[in-house]
Structure 1
């Protein structure tokens, strides 16, 4: 959503592609009873970030850019997926939950 300026613009661009795919797939598959939605997590504390910088440095730096000043835990993002998969939400179609700590 913020474009990844100065840090992995190509990665940010793929997230925009996923938003477009979510809408397109939701319209294409609804006739088969398949509901498509997405979850767009922000900064999540996973080993993925260790590939780019020592975990503590990146975790501290990136956490400071969120409104809550901390990274999400994987289970916190999983709650969004569970929410979208629940039966009472069958009328939410083609939406993306932005779980990005206010970024």
Structure 2
């Protein structure tokens, strides 16, 4: 099989992967969920400065900090990686 390192990108290495960023979870009751209206606020289980988690599918791949882009990307969110999860299958 061809080496898929950044120096030798194979066809597989060019396949885009969707990354999901988890900033926290809310735990409303069913009654609270059904009564949600515009401008309702759901309190999350994390603080603003807490790390966010990055997932590829359901696999945790890292953690990071939210930050706002500058320049021509001003106002867009980004994640600065602070930890990359181990990728070996042994744990």
Q: TM-score category by the smaller chain?
A: under 0.3
Q: More helix by proportion, 1 or 2? A: 1
Q: Select the structure with the greater relative contact order (CA < 8 A; seq sep ≥ 6).
A: 1
Report the TM-score, using the length of structure 2 for normalisation: 0.23
Greater strand fraction, Structure 1 or Structure 2: 2
